[in-house]
Amino acid sequence: MTSSNRYLNTEVDTSPQSEKKINTWFLNQPARSLPLASPTTRPESSSQLSPSFEDTQSIPSIPTSTPPILLPLHTFLTSPSSEASDVLHRHTVQVYDTTSLSQYLNERGQGDLVKGEEGSGGWYDWVITVQVKGRGRGVVARGDGVLRRWLLKNPLHPSIPVSPHEYPKTPRISPDSDWSIVPLNLGPDADFRACVNLLSEEGASRWKLDELWKKAQ
């Protein structure tokens, strides 16, 4: 096979014109600017780009007559840094003074309509409702456990002993429950009753408790 002469020629052109050509060939090329990094292409987490839906929702105000003993619980339920924020929608926390409604229903013989895991009882004077996060089986049970464990570790009254266990046991809640009632231990001298109602999204739509308690306002 015959090779072309241009590949076999080993002579070097040393003329001034050639040397000038060799030394300046790269200067004749148009300058290539490096692409600048666009600030919009910088990887950002979704939380950095925009606030979450939860953060943009305001916390409903509570009645001015809310008993002080319930305020630490309300702070726990609505604080973005508490364990409750992992399982509960903070912006759904509602506090209701149902005293007038209780009196009205008792007069009608309907004072035992609220039933919880511990059985039926009279109507509560103060009711807190909150929707749990997630959908499907077990979401109410999970929220119920978080709330009850906090109450055992942070009693609402000084006379109530603090649980010595790091992870206190709580009542077993059916994974299919869409509504759970947690009665509040307010101490031996409390002159009113209070509870927290935990509902799933489906339970809130099904039972419409907020519509019932709003009648007391």
Can you tell me the mean pLDDT for 35-50? 43
Name the least confident of 43-57, 117-131, 197-211: 43-57
Q: What is the mean pLDDT of the chain?
A: 78
pLDDT score recorded for residue 106: 65
Confidence of residue 111 (pLDDT cuts 50, 70, 90): low
Q: What is the 3-state secondary structure (H, E, C) of 54-119?
A: HHHCCCCCCCCCCCHHHHHHHHHHHCCCCHHHHCECHHHCEEEECHHHHHHHHHCCCCCCEEECCE
Q: Name, of 12-16, 22-26, 31-35, 170-174, the range with top average pLDDT.
A: 170-174
CA dist 89 and 187 (Å) reads 28
DSSP helix/strand/coil, 209: helix
Q: What percent of the chain has pLDDT over 90?
A: 55
pLDDT score recorded for residue 169: 93
